[in-house]
Amino acid sequence: MSTQFHELSVADITRETPDSVCVAFDVPEALREAFRYKPGQHLTLRTTIGGEDVRRSYSICSGLSEGRLRVGIKKVPGGVFSAFANDNLAAGDVIQVMAPQGRFAVDVSENAANNYLMIAAGSGITPVLSIIRSTLEGEPMSEVTLVYGNRETASIMFREELEDLKDRFLDRFRTVHILSRETQDVPLFNGRIDAARLEKLASAGLIQPGEADGIYICGPGELIDEAADAVAALGADRGRIHFERFTADGTPHKASKAALEAAQKGATVEVILDGVSKNFAFDDPSKKVVDAAAAKGIDLPFSCKGGMCATCRCKVVEGSAEMDANFSLEPWETEAGYILACQARPTSEKLVLDFDAV
């Protein structure tokens, strides 16, 4: 898994809704292999804004059949990168882009006959759109149902693309638009996506969570938690429910007693990245490994710094560490010793982290 950045130029930018844009990148032949992706994965974009090095994760929204790499970026109030992308980024600009990452993804197989349920809200449609297009085009026997929540019709990202897909795959693609600030003819479709609405959609036969081979949920944290519990209660196998969070819960965490003691005793952290090993003293427990390393001049891979993207994933090969939050590693990974360096502090005097472990 390469966490190197490559320079890509913006091929074009199209306005999706009044507060979102779709950014397409040209991928030169020499970088095609590096940017090969699975539908659902994301890119880390990096640039300098106001003199600051800024990097953020954006899910790929293009389908595998497209030659271009596209991402959809929704402007958030006060947001640094999303405002830059919506207001200043232009065709021809060059952005640093990390190769695709992430496990919220599907393997498309021509012989598969899958039944997918997608649940998305707002900009959460981006990875889901890539999965929908890629599976409908690449798996002729698979079916997809999308439940998509927005405020009103005008704020629906990729509305036309979804309509086109519906026209092309009439018998295999169903969409249910839920709108919170616009009244539709069918009362069931008015409001928010929550447990009660998912239950009613199931009772009406519009979704069948128990029959789904894969359920992919993307949107705000509360929607993910509530929808995942609701579809599980409706018979979905927990192992088939996948989710991608775009935002952290924002709860501040303090270092535990063990982490404070380790820092006081002069803990050292050794990091192994691209086969090279570096050491630094972990003397400030208010920081976590990625920031503590940066303060000592060591650049480790990261993107969201919120425990969501797993770009900073590494394996503890010696010592122990605690994490403040984990929204991306699966139970088998934490059991196998993987941690998120952006969320970790050492709880032992020596901590060795391998960023090359796959």
Ligand X SMILES: Cc1cc2nc3c(=O)[nH]c(=O)nc-3n(C[C@H](O)[C@H](O)[C@H](O)COP(=O)(O)OP(=O)(O)OC[C@H]3O[C@@H](n4cnc5c(N)ncnc54)[C@H](O)[C@@H]3O)c2cc1C
216 binds, among ligand X, ligand FES, none (CB under 5 to 8 A by kind): none
Q: Is 44 in the site for ligand FES (CB under 6 A)?
A: no
Q: Parallel, antiparallel, or unpaired: how do β-strands 42-49 and 94-98 relate? A: antiparallel
Count residues contacting ligand FES (CB under 6 A)? 14
Q: CB neighbours (10 Å) of residue 355?
A: 18
Give the interface segment with ligand X, choosing from 52-60, 171-179, 234-242, 313-321 (CB under 6 A): 52-60
Structure tokens at 13: 């930018």
How many CA atoms does the CB half-sphere of 102 hold within 13 Å?
32
**Residue 120 or 312: which CB sits closer to ligand FES?**
312
Structure tokens at 220: 């705000």
Burial code (b: 16+ CB inside 10 Å, e: under 16) for 60-80 equals: bbbbbeeeebbbbbbbbeeee
At residue 80, the 3 state secondary structure works out as helix
Count of residues in the chain: 358
Contact, 150 vs 122, CB < 8 A?
yes
Q: Is 108 in the site for ligand X (CB under 6 A)?
A: no
Cβ 213 to ligand X shortest distance, Å: 23
Contact, 142 vs 136, CB < 8 A?
yes
312 binds, among ligand X, ligand FES, none (CB under 5 to 8 A by kind): ligand FES
Rule CB under 6 A: which of 123-182 touch ligand X? 123, 126
Cβ 102 to ligand FES shortest distance, Å: 10
Rule CB under 6 A: which of 289-328 touch ligand X? 304, 308-309
User: Which DSSP category does 312 fall into?
Assistant: T
Q: If residue 32 lies in a helix (H) or strand (E), which one and from where to where? A: none
Q: Is 342 in the site for ligand FES (CB under 6 A)?
A: yes
- The CA R_g of the chain, rounded to the nearest whole Å, is 21
Q: Is 145 in the site for ligand FES (CB under 6 A)?
A: no
Rule CB under 6 A: which of 272-311 touch ligand FES? 302-311
Count residues contacting ligand X (CB under 6 A)? 24
310 binds, among ligand FES, ligand X, none (CB under 5 to 8 A by kind): ligand FES
Q: Which of 39, 63, 72, 346 binds ligand X (CB under 6 A)?
A: 72
User: Which DSSP category does 190 fall into?
Assistant: B
Which spans of this chain sit near ligand X (rule: CB under 6 A)? 42, 56-59, 71-74, 76, 78-83, 123, 126, 244, 246-247, 304, 308-309
Which spans of this chain sit near ligand FES (rule: CB under 6 A)? 302-312, 328, 340, 342
